[in-house]
A and B are shown apart, each in its own frame.
Chain A
């Protein structure tokens, strides 16, 4: 009998089959269809360093590109060598299959070597006018890799130029008033996400790590006005619910590369842990800071300030110490038992940041597991074994 696996205690959840969360399962959704039916544009992007509020103020729906559900990179492998990131390859694969044909444009920045090269591949291989019978606009901004006053001025200039390009491309003015209005909507959105986050990190939570990720992905795929209504509805619904008892589970914070499907988090949750927080770009990194608006000043500058000075990702090469401090604070706030550092294979940025965290957290006697994985769920047995052993070790 001792060799028979005991079924794990399953966490009861309140948001199973919630229509908003279900939006995270697919790439296209009815809200996009509705948006485009009134001749409004959708622009795809990869990275949280792009100024979403600016697109919103231009009447454009910013759509965060992801590869949820795609486990096949066969088409993309022709154009990207095997040493590249499987997340970006999977998004290209989907795009080559036509899943992103609904996009009217794309905005790329130099987040990492993998995603920034999507500018050329989207341009040449996906949205080539011979292949797709519509005009797809291409935008690019260059973001500094360090945080300095000079770097801020460079970034601001780039965002100002982007504003002009958008105005020209879509023949509409992006006034300061419109921009301030958009910032208000996005600030409200981040505030709502932070409220939900509180429900995740508290001792007796009301949402799980998987649900938090689904909310964040859905939130990045639809107009923010609708997302805000949905987030308020979920918060109201959860208010009436009982708190979950996760006291028997080890509380984990998930750190590292982008996670755009719940399989990986569920693997952790099904191994006897509770994912109480995260430090990933579909998670807290995206909503931790809001924009302080000085209504007498320049909203574009305020917007750029948040983007530039917020909690960074490892593309910012001089900011590891701040990231570590944030991580330590979140470990404390969410009462974390252990840290799971993960990177998608070939992700040099998160791989090296995780290397430093491993040593720094061990020095603080915080249990830490550092693993590599593919973007889609693969190599499950190895991952599960390592995660279970890690959780066992903490008991």
Chain B
């Protein structure tokens, strides 16, 4: 387990966070830039010393400002993936990966480095220097290097931000499988809620140095506790099992009941994402009309006003969120406890394999 607590001033920002991640789990801290995300990772790694703080990992205390404990970064077993990867330009890919293996005989280091590169499909580029590698290749070398010392904690700073859109989808899938394989707590920061929802078992939304809400991605999207979280979370995420249908659409049996259709292709376990503003609300029991494929019965849990829009937290088999204009919310008389039907088009339903 990893526990990070920090209270410290950073220029104009006051960082005040307390986070906990179980082994084998990934907590994604998501928030706008300047919210203090990277500082959380730096406190965990020992690169930033907070005025008040506590860092515990796997039963060891790395930092406890009250007891005067502060291990230097080199004695904390962190696998840290830096935003721009921070590969050493004067070393080849395998030398980068072997770098943390000091004290191991040279031949053994070479063998272990190649093994790690192999795992990321990078064995053929072992002799290449970072300057000659693409963004995706650099990320894989950096991941291999971060894992080389069998870290007790994995820290990932915007792991996909340095990649172009085309590489990102593949890297996202790969990173997801790495995070599922490693048996250590992982702490990831990102400015992108969708990325946080896909990689994190839980997501903490950070704003101005404070984690304003923490929960599973769908909890956050469905029952945002503040307008900021509602706005930031953007998409609704549901999980289920996909299978192709005869009609050319993919049908997804949602976990917990209900089914939706999507124009995306997928098979097996998937995450279904819909933007709340794509979801239309009508009173329960009304006859089906129009072209919407997906209809779920739901109960209104919360009504939050965000500017001229109203965001609804809905209890369907899985939590859901919808956004309607303030005018239609008033017309429909939307309030907590009301039973409604949520509907949206199959074409507005995105599927991502899990």
Same complex: no
Q: Which residues of B contact A (CB under 8 A)?
A: none
